[in-house]
Amino acid sequence: MRRYLLPFCLLTLLLLSACQADDSISREYRCNFIFYTSLHPQPCQLTGILGNSGHFVKIQTNIQQGIRHLKTTRNYDNAPEDVPLTTAKESQFNYYLGANDCIIIGTSSYDNQLVAYDGQCPNCLADYNGISYPLTWQKNGMQLHCAKCDRSYDINNGTIASDTPGSNKQLLRYKVIFDGDLIHAWN
C-alpha cells in the first residue's frame, strides 16, 4: 500500500498545481471571443494584426438586421472596419467582450506575443460605479488613454505609461491564442 501512496501523492500535487488559475487574467467581466481568420483573410484588420509587431485592433460587436458585425479600429491609423459574421460556423457562438463589449487584441512589440485586453479603463472601473470608461488610441497607437482619469497605458504590456495619482491598475488582461485559423480570447 505504501508503495502506491507516494506516486499517488505526487500525482495529486501535480494535478492541483496544474489547475491553478493565472492571476494576471481578469475574471471580473466575461470574455469569450472567437474569430476565424480563414473566413476573413487580409486585408481584414483583425487578421492583419497577426505576426505584425505593434499592430492592435479595438473590437466591438453589434447585431444589424439579424447579423452579428464586428467593428474594429486599428491602433496606428484609427481606421475603422465593419466585418459581418455571416457563416453558420460564426453565428453559433455567443460573444462576450469584457466590461462594456470592447476588447483589444494585438501583437506586442516587446515580445511578439499575441495579447488581449479589456477596452475599458481598469482604474475607473475600480474607482467609480458603471462600466463606460472607454480607452482611446494615442501616441501613434502605442498607448491607450482614458479621458475620465487621464491615465495612459502602454499597449504592448498593459502597464500605466503616465504618472497619475491614485489607483495604478494595469489593463485587464484576457487569455488569447491563435491556432493558425482561429483567434480565441477568453477568461
Q: How confident is the model at residue 22 (pLDDT cuts 50, 70, 90)?
A: low
Is residue 19 predicted with pLDDT exceeding 50?
no
pLDDT at 10: 39
pLDDT for the residue 30: 97
Question: Does residue 18 register a pLDDT over 70?
Answer: no
pLDDT at 14 over 60: no
Instruction: Look at residue 162 in the predicted model and tell me its pLDDT.
Output: 79
Compute the average pLDDT of residues 145-164. Answer: 92
pLDDT in tens, 99-153: 999 999 999 999 999 999 999 999 999 999 889 999 999 999 999 999 999 999 9
| DSSP labels, the chain | -HHHHHHHHHHHHHHHHHT---TTB--SS-EEEEEEGGGS-TT-HHHHTTT-TT-EEEEEEEEETTEEEEEEEETTT--EEEEEE-SHHHHT---EETTTTEEEEEE-TTT--EEEEESB-HHHHHHSSSS--BEEEETTTTEEEETTT--EEETTT--B-S--SS--PPPPEEEEEE-SSEEEEE-
